[in-house]
Amino acid sequence: MHHENPKINKNLRGRFAPTPSGRLHFGSLTCALASYLDVKAKNGSWIIRLDDLDSPRVQRGASENIIRTLEYFNLISDEPIRRQSDNLKLYEEIFGDLIRKNLCYRCECSRKRLQSLNNVYDYRCRNKKLSHEKTSVRLKISETNNIQNFIDNIQGNQETAHITSDFIIRRKDQIFSYEYAVVIDDYVQNITSVLRGADLISSTFNQLILHKSLNFNPPLYSHIPVVENKDGEKMSKSKNALMEFSKTKLSILYLALDWLGQNPPAELKNESNQIIIDWAKKNWCPKAIPQLLSKSITEQAQIL
């Protein structure tokens, strides 16, 4: 008989969705940890999803490496790990619906032309009714699906810094765009809480537009500052700490928690990953996460 853990909060589901284009570094591990804690602190579930659609970027062995690294830090998916490449049929089906409902159109503009527009699309192909397959496909933005702002759970109100214009949901090489696939995945996997790096804030507008176009209920979004390489005093301190880690394999989770503003007690430094995570679950304080959009830390070392 299958016993469900009665403590699991079914209404809270988060995920970490790395692209297997390389190994995890300190920044991506910090995102994984934060997304885990954000749901686990309230007994939610957390899943790992490999965003492996963009096959030209996928690196051999990277998925396995990422999973092993997460396991090493006791960041274990509560459900079987998902892969976007398993969902192609669903992406096709929903794509067919969008075409039939006339919510998207084919665009034959060259990369060079788009660059000259600074990537703000000027709707040139919107009414051309192109039908040949070797084109990209754009979603039509209208008054009914447009989004001008959203409330980020950590960063507060976010307004579009750029002009939203019809964006690509399927590329010329026929690969579905990241924005399109991620929206469908988050919806069908019942994700209620998305926590990721602030480099994706601008993409969140497009994602919310897609959720609206598809009549999906969007998750709550939280973005954490991107860990960057920069010279500065704070950095050299952290750098030493990370160097110490790389020699002794100690407490990178401690450093990540420190970076996330969680103020972990010094005694935790030499503790096991599980003890550090247990402390962090009990003491998780999203409000303490820095609001700045970038913060310095050591080089984005490839770990393990």
Q: Site residues (CB under 6 A) for ligand GLU?
A: 17-19, 51, 182, 196, 200
Residue 204 vs 296, nearer CB to ligand GLU: 204
Closest CB to ligand GLU belongs to which residue?
A: 51
Q: How far apart are the C-alpha atoms of 205 and 165, rounded to whole Å?
A: 11
Q: In angstroms, what is the minimal distance from the CB of 116 to ligand GLU?
A: 27
Q: In angstroms, what is the minimal distance from the CB of 80 to ligand GLU?
A: 18
Q: How far apart are the C-alpha atoms of 234 and 228, rounded to whole Å?
A: 12
Q: In angstroms, what is the minimal distance from the CB of 94 to ligand GLU?
A: 18
Given its phi and psi angles, is residue 227 left (phi above 0), alpha (psi -120 to 50 degrees) or beta? beta
Tokens of 124: 């040139």
Residue 16 vs 105, nearer CB to ligand GLU: 16
Q: What one-character-per-residue DSSP string does 143-159 give?
A: TTT---EEEETTTEEEE
Which stretches of the chain are DSSP H helices?
26-40, 62-72, 88-100, 111-116, 178-188, 201-213, 233-248, 252-259, 273-283
- In this structure, what DSSP letter does residue 54 have? -
Q: In angstroms, what is the minimal distance from the CB of 52 to ligand GLU?
A: 9
Residue 74 vs 189, nearer CB to ligand GLU: 189
Tokens of 123: 């709707």
Q: In angstroms, what is the minimal distance from the CB of 204 to ligand GLU?
A: 9
Residue 38 vs 51, nearer CB to ligand GLU: 51
Residue 22 vs 269, nearer CB to ligand GLU: 22
